[in-house]
Amino acid sequence: MLYAPQMLLAVQTVHEERIVHSDLKPANFLLVEGTLKLIDFGIASAIQNDATSVVRENQVRQVYASDEEHTTSW
């Protein structure tokens, strides 16, 4: 089954509610009884009523790496 149409519909529905999710990735879609659900709105933001576009000046993504990943044993 192709899930792309459900993903697009989920994003469209969120945008119609004037919300920007800000973290769209496959891991933020959950399959519930055969239907995809968009989850994790932790960094979502509302779109102002008079806005015609959304611009993010600084979107910094922090990446965590364990100590084991930083050490190399040769």
Q: Answer for the pair 37, 30: CB distance below 8 angstroms, yes or no.
A: yes
Pair of tokens at residue 50: 């008079």
Task: Give residue for tokens 């084991």.
Answer: 68
> Is 23 designated active site?
yes
Query: Residue 36: enclosing H or E segment and its boundaries?
Result: strand 35-38
Set 23, 40, 50, 67: catalytic member:
23
Q: How far is CA 29 from CA 61, 62, 70, in A?
A: 19, 21, 31
Query: Residues with catalytic annotation?
Result: 23
